[in-house]
Structure 1
Amino acid sequence: MLKTIKRKLIYLCLSALFLSSCKSNYISKNLENPFYNNQFTGLLVFNPKTKDTVFKKNADKYFTPASNTKIFTLYTALQVLPAQIPAFKYGIENDTITIQGVGNPTFLHPFFNDSTALKMARNYKKVNVVLNNLEDDKFGPGWAWEDYDTYFSPEKSSFPMYGNVLTISNQDSLQSIPKALKNQIHFSESNKRRNFNDNTFYYNPKRKDTIEVPMVIDTALVKQLWDDILPNKVSVFKQSDKALTHTAYSVPSDSLYKRMMLVSDNFLAEQMLILASSTLSDTLSSKRIRDTILNKQLKDLKQKPRWVDGSGLSRYNLFSPTSFVQVLEKLHNQIPQQRLFNLFPVGGSSGTLKNYYSGEEKPYIYAKSGTLGNNYSLSGYLITKSGKTLIFSFMNNHYRKSTTDVKKRMQLIFEWLRDNY
C-alpha cells in the first residue's frame, strides 16, 4: 500500500515537471525566433498562489522600463496616501486663509476639475498662496529637452493648476483654458506650440482639434491664474511664517490612480510621487519618497532598481522583470482583486490596451504598458481559462522593428498561457 502511494506521488511529480517543461519549451522556442535576434528581451511569468516560476528569461537583468515605472508610482501612492487625495494644507487667521500646495494635480485639472481650493478661498477676504516648498526641478532627470511643448511633458510644481497645461481649441473661435492666457496665443504654422522659456503659445490656424501645451510655471504665472479666478484677493509668498496644521481633501484617490494608469498620464504620475512625499515632510521631494519606499516597503527586492522619476519618461530608469513581478505580487496580496484590476488598463477594453490583447469572451490581461522609442514593455496580471492568476513582466529593449509587430509576438505567448496553463 505504501509503495503504491509513493509510486503515485512520484508519477504526479514527474507529470507536473513534464507539463511545466512543455510550457517552458513552447515559450522558449517562441523567444528563439529570429524576430528577437537583434533586441534585448526579458520575461518572467509567476504563479502567486503556488509560488511557481512558470517561465524565466533575463528576468534579473536591467531594462529601460518606460511607463512600466508607473507601477512603482502606483504602489507608492497606495502605501502612503489616504482614500481622498490631500488637496492642500492651510491655516486661518481672522479674515485670511493661507494655503500651501502638497503637489495635488487635480485642482482645475481638465479631467478632474476639482475646485476645493477655490471654494474655500472664496470665503475669506485675503488669500495667501505659499509656493517654493518643492525640491524637485521642473523636469525630471534624463527627460528629453525637446519635449517641452508636448502634452505629455508638463512641468512639475507644488501647487498645480489646470494640469499645468494650456488647453487650446478653435471650433468656431479661439478658446483657451485657462482664459487668462488667451491673449498670449498666436496663430502660426510653426511646428512648435510654445516658446522655449516663456508663455507665448502658437496654434496652427488650419487645425480644428484641441491641443494641450505645457505652461512655464513660475510665481508670476500662478499669481496671474489666481487673479483671473479670484480677482484682488490673492497674494503669493515663497514661504509661510506660521505652521499650517489643517489639510483639505480633493477627489477619491482611486480616481486619480485609475486615470494615471489608464491613459499613462505622465503629469499625474510625477505629481503623485510629490503628493506622496507630503506625508513625510512639508518640503516636497519625489526623491525622498522614492528612497523611503525602496529602503522600507521594497527593501526585499532582489534587484534594486535605478528609479529616477514617477512617469518613466527618463531613460535613466533601470528595472528588472523580477522587480516588477515582486511589486505586482505585493499589490495582489494587499489589494482586493476587483479594486486592483480596476486600476489597470484592460486588454481589448480600456486605456492604452484598448486595441491589443483582447480576450475571446472576456478580458484576460490587466497590465501597464511602457513605450519609448525602440522600447516596449508590459507588466501585470493574466487570467487563464482554468481560472488561475499569473503575474508577468515582458520587457523588450533596443529593437528596430515596429512596436505593433512586437506586441503581436508577445500576444502569441500571452494567448498560449491563457489557453494552456
Structure 2
Amino acid sequence: MLRIYLYSLTLYFISMTVHADELASLQALLPSGTNVAYMIGQPFSATNEITDDVISQQNTELLLTPASTQKLLTALTAKLYLTDEYTFNTSLHGNINKQSISHTEFNFTGDPTFTRDDLRRMLKQLKAKGVSRISGDISLNQSRFNGYNWGNGQVWNDQAVCYAAQASALVINGNCVLGNLKRSADLKKATIYIPDYEPLNLISQVDIMTKEQQQAQFCDLEVTRHPGNNYTLFGCITPSKRNLPLSFAISEPATYFAEVLKAELTQAKIKFTGNIVANQQPVKPAMVINHQSVKLAEIISEMMKESDNLIADILFKTIGAEYFQQAGNYRNGAKAMREILADKGISLTSSVIADGSGLSRHNLVSAETMFSVLEYTIKHDDKLQLLATMPIAGVDGTLQYRRGLLSKQLTGNIVAKTGSLKGLSNLVGIVKTQNNHKVPFVLMVSGYNPLPRDADKPRQASPLTQYLAAFFNTIVTKH
C-alpha cells in the first residue's frame, strides 16, 4: 500500500514539473526583454481547503509594479479595518433663525459616490426646514484629508483624464465631466461638446488631418489645464463620422463645486449673495442635514469590478485618517495598510506602497507578496466576500472584453483583479479548471514592448493576447 502511495506521489510531482516547465516555455510567445513573474497554487475545491503549497513559480521575489492589482490590498485593508458597514457622510452645518441660515458650512469626507443629485436633495431638505436665505459666506470644509490629491509617482499627463481624477475630500460626480469631440472630414478644426450645465470652459485648437499628415508632423491629441477649470485641447486628430468620447478630470474641485452650488441654490430658490470659501479647520456649527453614502461593501464592489482609481485612493486616505485619527493622506494610508495587514500575517516589508489605486509607478510588490494577499483573501472569503467583487472573464468588469480570455473554456472560469499600465499587464485571482478544481494564481508581466504589427496582418492577435490564452488554457486543461 505504501509503495502504491509513493508511486502515485512521484507521478503527481513529475506531472507538476512538466506543467511548470510548460508554463515557463510559454514566455517565448512574448517579445524579448519581457519580465514574467508568477505563482500557481495548489488546486482546491473549497475555500477552507486551500493550502500554502505552490505547484509552479517564476521570479516570485522580483519587485514589480502592481498597477491596479494594488486595489486588492486596498480592498482587503478596508474590509478588515473599516468593515462593510462603513459609510461616508457629507453634511451641511449652520445656525437656522426663522427663514435664514448663517455660518453655513459643507463638510466633505471624501464620499466617492456623492453626486449633483445628492446635493440637490440636500438643498430641498434645507428648503423644507423653511430656509429661503443664506446669510454671509458658505464654507467648504475639506479638513478630512491633507497633502497631495495625487499620489507620488502618478504620471503628470494623466491628471486631466477622469481615471486619474483628484482624490480630494470634496468629490462630486466623481470629479469628472464627460463630453465629446466632433471630428468630421468637413471640418478643419475639431469642436468640443460638453453639457451647458457643466461649469467648465474648453477651447479646441485641434486640427483634423490624414493619418499620413499626422505621422509626418509627429502630432497627437493633447490637453493643457488652466486655472479656474479651463482647458485647451490642441494637436491633431484623424477625421471620423463618430465623435470621440472625452472625459475631463476636474482641475479645481472646490471651484467646480462652488459654481454647481450657486446654480442649485438658484434652482431651489434659496437666496445667497455671499462668497464661497475653502476651509481646513474643524467644523464648528451644528449639523443641519446629513447625506450618507451606500455601505462600504457596495463601494468596494464598484471599485474592484470597474477598477475605479478614485474610490481606491479615497479609501486609502480614509484608512489612514481612521487608523491614526488625523487628516488622511497617502503617507499615513500606507503606514496604516502595512500595520493592518501585518496583524494578519501579511508582510509588506519589502514592498513600496505609494497609493491605493496602483496608478503610482513608485509602487513595487512581488508576486510572492501578492500571492500571500490572495491566499488570505481566499481562506477568509466566507467573511470578507471579496472574491465576488472580482471581474469575471468574458462576463463583467475589466475582464468582460479582455483579449486572450474570451474562449469558450476560459469565459466565466477566470475570476481575477486586473492591473494594466503602459508596458505591463497583471492578473491576480482564481482559475476554475476542467476537473472542477480552483487554482489560485498571480501573473505579472512587465517590460512588455511589442514590435509594430505587420501591416499585412492587422487582425493578428498581439503577443500578450497569445501568451494569456496559452497560459490559462494550460492551467484549465492540466489541473
Q: TM-score, normalised by structure 1?
A: 0.85
Distance 1:175 1:39 in 2: 41
Distance 2:127 2:114 in 1: 15
Local SS of the residue matching 1:336:
helix
The answer for the alignment partner of 1:295 in structure 2 is 339
Displacement of 1:302: 5.1
Local SS of the residue matching 1:166:
strand
Shift in alpha-carbon separation, 1:303–1:140, aligned structure 2, 3 A? closer
2:41 pairs with 1:46? yes
Q: Which runs of 5+ in 2 are unaligned?
A: 45-49, 183-190, 208-220, 452-460
Please say if residues 157 and 217 of structure 1, whose CA atoms lie closer than 8 Å, have aligned partners that are also in contact: no
Q: Give the counterpart of 1:230 among 256, 262, 265.
A: 265
The answer for the alignment partner of 2:202 in structure 1 is 185
Distance 1:277 1:235 in 2: 29
Shift in alpha-carbon separation, 1:338–1:91, aligned structure 2, 3 A? closer
Instruction: Report % sequence identity.
Output: 18
Displacement of 1:383: 1.2
Letter in 2 for 1:62: L
Please say if residues 149 and 192 of structure 1, whose CA atoms lie closer than 8 Å, have aligned partners that are also in contact: no
RMSD: 3.3
Displacement of 1:197: 4.1
The answer for the alignment partner of 1:70 in structure 2 is 71
Q: Give the counterpart of 2:148 among 137, 155, 160.
A: 137
The answer for the alignment partner of 2:406 in structure 1 is 358
Shift in alpha-carbon separation, 1:150–1:275, aligned structure 2, 3 A? same
2:303 pairs with 1:260? yes
Q: Which runs of 5+ in 1 are unaligned?
A: none
Please say if residues 133 and 239 of structure 1, whose CA atoms lie closer than 8 Å, have aligned partners that are also in contact: no
Displacement of 1:98: 4.5
The answer for the alignment partner of 2:9 in structure 1 is 13
Displacement of 1:40: 1.5
Shift in alpha-carbon separation, 1:119–1:419, aligned structure 2, 3 A? farther
Distance 1:384 1:136 in 2: 46
| Equivalent residues in 2 for 1:380-399, closer than 5 Å | 380-399=429-448
The answer for the alignment partner of 1:156 in structure 2 is 167
Letter in 2 for 1:135: N
Letter in 1 for 2:8: L
Can you list the C-alpha shifts for 1:236-271, whole angstroms capped at 9, x where unaligned?
433235398997521243332233223322222222
Displacement of 1:132: 3.8
Shift in alpha-carbon separation, 1:93–1:263, aligned structure 2, 3 A? closer
Letter in 2 for 1:366: V
* Rg larger in structure: 2
Local SS of the residue matching 2:225:
coil
Shift in alpha-carbon separation, 1:295–1:80, aligned structure 2, 3 A? closer
The answer for the alignment partner of 2:107 in structure 1 is 100
Distance 1:343 1:247 in 2: 28
Q: Give the counterpart of 1:349 among 376, 386, 395.
A: 395
Q: TM-score, normalised by structure 2?
A: 0.75
Shift in alpha-carbon separation, 1:121–1:318, aligned structure 2, 3 A? farther
Distance 2:417 2:312 in 1: 13
Shift in alpha-carbon separation, 1:404–1:136, aligned structure 2, 3 A? farther
| Equivalent residues in 2 for 1:246-285, closer than 5 Å | 248-280=291-323, 281=325, 283-285=327-329
Displacement of 1:202: 4.5
Please say if residues 106 and 114 of structure 1, whose CA atoms lie closer than 8 Å, have aligned partners that are also in contact: no
Please say if residues 358 and 364 of structure 1, whose CA atoms lie closer than 8 Å, have aligned partners that are also in contact: no
Matched positions, count: 411
Q: Give the counterpart of 1:27 among 23, 38, 57.
A: 23
